Amino acid sequence: GAGVSQSPSNKVTEKGKDVELRCDPISGHTALYWYRQSLGQGLEFLIYFQGNSAPDKSGLPSDRFSAERTGGSVSTLTIQRTQQEDSAVYLCASSSRDAGNEQFFGPGTRLTVL
Amino acid sequence: AQSVTQLDSQVPVFEEAPVELRCNYSSSVSVYLFWYVQYPNQGLQLLLKYLSGSTLVKGINGFEAEFNKSQTSFHLRKPSVHISDTAEYFCAVRAMNTDKLIFGTGTRLQVFP
């Protein structure tokens, strides 16, 4: 079946603008994760969803970052008033207990804030 | 809290030579351990994982890793590398009572002909 998909693959925006990044998990996967991969910081956990609820938001770097998940499927990560330090690759992953909780990653969205 | 240290940011090696990528972790609770690979312009792919049982874990593409609890290490090895193994390798841990992965900073393996 299809893997995790993310859109857009690339996003260039101006400082101060809001952006939305989308993640489509593998069908049937109840858990969904957002990570950020940036130079000098490596891969950082941002937020985790189980169904539509987010029991762990501990990695969100500021209140400019938010995420939601609807229908236990698609998730949107929103960054408000983007800053240059938000430039990174944003990765989404999904998992299910039936698959041993292995996290399957999408190709990522490369965000560049000018 | 957990942390992961990958001591080598880059490892150059010639084709058909053996390689070891080092990973050490720190955690106050028991953890699961993972190695992921990221080929150029691609997403992360799971190479192997240690959940329990035998401390020697075999993964895809001929890679293996050994969990050493006393040294808190989970080094990745391959006896003979190929050009196609050129990629970024990430070690990660997950505490048994959580779902999030904590990653190391990655090791770039560059295989030369």
Average pLDDT, chain A: 92
Q: Under a CB-based contact definition with an 8 Å cutoff, are residues A86 and A77 in contact? A: no
Say which of B42, B49, B100 has its CB closest to residue A107. B42
pLDDT bucket at B103, cuts 50 / 70 / 90:
very high
pLDDT at A101 exceeding the cut of 90 = no
CB neighbour burial string for A53-91, b if at least 16 within 10 angstroms, e if fewer = ebebeebbeeeebebebeebbebebebeebeeebbbbbb
Among all residues of chain B, which has the CA nearest to that of A91?
B43
Nearest of A40, A34, A39 to residue A95 by alpha carbon: A34
The mean pLDDT value for B77-104 works out to 93
Contact A105 B90 (CB under 8 A): no
Contact B101 A45 (CB under 8 A): yes
Percent of chain A having pLDDT more than 90? 76
Higher pLDDT, B18 or A100: B18
Contact A35 B101 (CB under 8 A): yes
Higher pLDDT, A10 or B42: A10
pLDDT at position A83 = 97
Percent of chain A having pLDDT more than 70? 97
pLDDT at position A55 = 86
* Residues linked to residue A44 through DSSP beta bridges, in sequence order: A36
pLDDT at B88 exceeding the cut of 70 = yes
Contact B106 A33 (CB under 8 A): no
Q: How many CB pairs under 8 A join A and B?
A: 47
Contact B99 A45 (CB under 8 A): no
pLDDT bucket at A1, cuts 50 / 70 / 90:
low
Residues on chain B bordering chain A, Cβ-to-Cβ distance under 8 angstroms: 36, 42-46, 49, 51, 90, 92, 98-106
pLDDT at position B85 = 97
Picking from A43-47, B34-38, B86-90, B96-100, which range would have the lowest pLDDT averaged per residue? Answer: B96-100
pLDDT at position A76 = 97
pLDDT at position B77 = 97
Say which of A43, A59, A101 has its CB closest to residue B90. A43
Higher pLDDT, A39 or B13: B13
Q: Under a CB-based contact definition with an 8 Å cutoff, are residues A38 and A89 in contact? A: yes
Q: How far is B99 from chain A (nearest CA, A)?
A: 8
Could you give the CA distance from residue A106 to residue A77 in angstroms, rounded to a whole number? 14
CB neighbour burial string for B28-65, b if at least 16 within 10 angstroms, e if fewer = eeebbbbbbbbeeeebbebbbbbeeeeeebebeeebbb
The mean pLDDT value for B49-66 works out to 93
pLDDT at A54 exceeding the cut of 90 = no
The mean pLDDT value for B88-109 works out to 92
Could you give the CA distance from residue A51 to residue A55 in angstroms, rounded to a whole number? 10
The mean pLDDT value for A21-40 works out to 92
* Residues of chain A with C-beta less than 8 angstroms from the C-beta of B102: 45
